[in-house]
A = this chain, B = another copy of it.
């Protein structure tokens, strides 16, 4: 990765990494992140490279994709967050995924012979391509932005494709002409990016928060997952995402990657975390942060902070007398 000349970094201006090169959806996410300190945006080669730089201290934060409304959880990110020293998610950004097909000025759609893009981008424009460019070849690139960069008229012409599927911003950056816009098969496609930082930076609760966890079950037996979910249900905590993930040790050995509504500072989430800690082999806390959609879901009856405080006071009164 190119983390730049860190010696030239003015003190106080933080460095935020993203999945480069410039023009990726990930950069769009970082641009959309409210950032009063005007952090420097540093392109990284991969999710792992970005998180490694964060862990090494050469980055202050990293924006990485975690979930795609079409493709689901981004395995590389989920796994890179789960191993290595602790990092925490401090925020999330939703980026609508809008694809264009772009080429050097002068080329028409009919003239396109080969298309370059990232395999994930390619997967999301299949239907459009089948209908409009049925005979075009496909060449994988490292990112959708890299596909556009390869065609930049200001650079050398070495790539074996003549059109790129990329974000509108990438076409603009690289001086390409848009042959067709909004060519994604799902018009509602959106990617969820998370901003990751070193531990100790959990933002305060906003009332519309999410908490991300990785849970390792003690053993695999019928009803095991049900028992685990009881820890959530007993405190009225709702899951918004649940994925069993291979632990990498053996096929069939899983952990669970989950998102829940609420913040670690909420009593119902805190007690759930402690309950999970007791019944799991390992619980990895990956952060509490404001929801990008700002949706507030009021706690179910009996699970507000004051319900927990009241219950504790009542218990105290029983023990004291």
Residue ranges of A at the interface with B (Cβ–Cβ < 8 Å): 48, 67-73, 75-76, 78-79, 94, 118-119, 123, 126, 138, 140-142, 186, 188-190, 192, 199-200, 202, 218, 220-223, 225-227, 229-246, 248-252, 254, 264-265, 270-271, 273-275, 277-279, 283, 285, 293, 300-303, 307-308, 310-312, 314-315, 318-319, 321
Contact = CB atoms under 8 A, between A and B. Distances in A.
A302 B321 contact: no
A140 B207 CA distance: 43
Contacts of A308: 274, 278
Contacts of A319: 202, 264-265, 270
Nearest to A219: B301
Give the most central of A118, A235, A252, A310: most B CB within 10 Å: A252
A222 B300 contact: yes
Given A230-B230, A233-B222, A275-B311, A251 B142 contact: no
Contacts of A301: 218, 279
A123 B74 CA distance: 13
A246 B254 CA distance: 20
Copies in the complex: 4
Contact of A250 (B188, B230, B243, B252): B188
B311 A245 contact: no
A142 B142 contact: no
A290 to B, nearest CB: 15
Nearest to A47: B123
Given A48-B126, A223-B233, A242-B244, A278 B251 contact: no
Contacts of A78: 72
B246 A67 contact: yes
A3 B94 CA distance: 40
Contact of A222 (B237, B246, B321): B237
Given A72-B243, A222-B236, 6 more contacts: A119-B140, A225-B242, A251-B293, A264-B318, A265-B319, A278-B302
